[in-house]
Structure 1
Amino acid sequence: MVEMFAAENGLKGDARLQAISNAIRVVPHFPKQGIMFQDITTLLLDHKAFKNTVDIFVDRYKDMDISVVAGVEARGFMFGPTIALAIGAKFVPLRKPKKLPGEVIAEAYELEYGSDCLEMHVGAVEAGERAIVIDDLVATGGTLSAAISLLERVGAEVVECACVIGLREVKGQRRLNGKPLYILVEPREIDSC
């Protein structure tokens, strides 16, 4: 059995984290054998847990002079726009290949079960802007690393990466080139006895 628990993120004991944890479903062997997929669609169905998730991120970033919230396709799109609106920043979608019209820059990366690429519109982010990267989950860190590279290539300062879920056993933060990683919850195995 897998249960979620609050990460060491300065909110230890915050009841909102337990509600967020409880709202995340684990789907065994998806998309392939051996993967324990952390499904946030059930979190999105729980309006209170969803609001708590966004509120925690907003509280963290509202006074950090962030001008760009970069959301990673697709689940970063579910949190990023609301966070951006609440803190007065713009939302920049980081998309899979051939999804953005116009001129883009691209960055390839490796996943825990394959490879992919992220693209960003040229001109969406300007040099000197302060950015955060939002996604639902960090595993190997490849996606976040690609997002950081895209933003830094245009001269943005990536202040932090933020994810709802962090897979502790994969140690994805090692690939973030020293950038801070803020996560709300981590899954762990528990004994079902």
Structure 2
Amino acid sequence: MTSDDLAALIRTIPDHPKPGIQFRDITTLLLDGAGFHAAVSGMAAQIETRPDLIAGIEARGFLFGAALAHHFGCGLLTLRKRNKLPGQVTGINYALEYGEDRLEMPHGLVRSGQRVVLVDDLIATGGTAWAAAQLLSGAGAEIVQAAFLIDLPDLGGAARLQDKGLKTSSLISFAGH
């Protein structure tokens, strides 16, 4: 299946969550078994360094992160939004266009030197992914790559991550927001 075939499986919902935004809904791709399989296989093929750990960003990053962790036979770490995890957590606040958010992970579970691939369904401005990379790096992990199903290159997130030295990959690109 080509990236154009995969893109055709993703529906676009105009003006969500606000006017002018073209929401790229992966639900329709997930419903297509062959499409979901091709997406995960394609993402896995782009990962150049075998990871010790996949870190999926809440929430859609969990779907692709779990499938990739299964593919590579490695562990899965879920990076959660504020106050979703029990016990002691390590977190990082980061800026959004319209405010601030926070990512957290269980404290002390990431080992120093672990090779980690960061995974999410989509990269837009790159703020959340960069915060995730900083959170993991702060715990001693080596972020070897950030893998996304979809890139919105007009918003510049992948380019920002690459400018900061983080290798990125994606299967599909959509112009615009």
What TM-score do the two structures reach when normalised by structure 2? 0.92
Q: Matched residue of 1:115: which SS? A: strand
Letter in 1 for 2:29: L
Verify the 8 A CA contact 2:79 2:103 in the aligned structure 1: yes
Q: Which moved more, 1:104-113 or 1:165-174?
A: 104-113
1:188 is paired with a residue whose SS is: coil
Q: State the partner residue of 2:43.
A: 57
CA RMSD of aligned residues (A): 1.5
Give the aligned partner of residue 146 of structure 2.
Answer: 161
What is aligned with 1:182? Answer: 169
State the alpha-carbon separation in 2 of the partners of residues 175 and 94 from structure 1.
21
Contact 1:111–1:140 under 8 Å retained in 2: no
Does residue 1:142 correspond to 2:120, yes or no?
A: no
Who is 2:63 aligned against? Answer: 78
Aligned to 1:92: 77
- TM-score, length-scaled by structure 1: 0.85
**What is the distance in 1 between the residues matched to 2:45 and 2:158?**
22
* 1:106 is aligned to 2:77: no
Does the CA contact (< 8 Å) of 2:43 and 2:170 recur in 1? no
Mapped contact 1:112–1:140 kept (Cα < 8 A): no
Measure, in 2, the Cα distance between the counterparts of 1:169 and 1:122: 35
Q: Unmatched 5+ residue regions in structure 2?
A: none
Q: Which runs of 5 or more structure 1 residues have no equivalent in the other structure? A: 1-14
Alpha carbons 1:131, 1:157 under 8 Å: kept: yes
Paired amino acid for 2:10 = I
Which whole-Å CA distance do the structure 2 matches of 1:23 and 1:53 have between them? 11
Aligned length: 174
CA distance in 2 between counterparts of 1:113 and 1:29 reads: 17
In 2, Cα distance between the equivalents of 1:112 and 1:45? 31
Q: Deviations over 1:47-77 (max 9, x none)?
A: 111100111122333x623101000000001
Identify which of 27, 30, 48 aligns with 1:44: 30
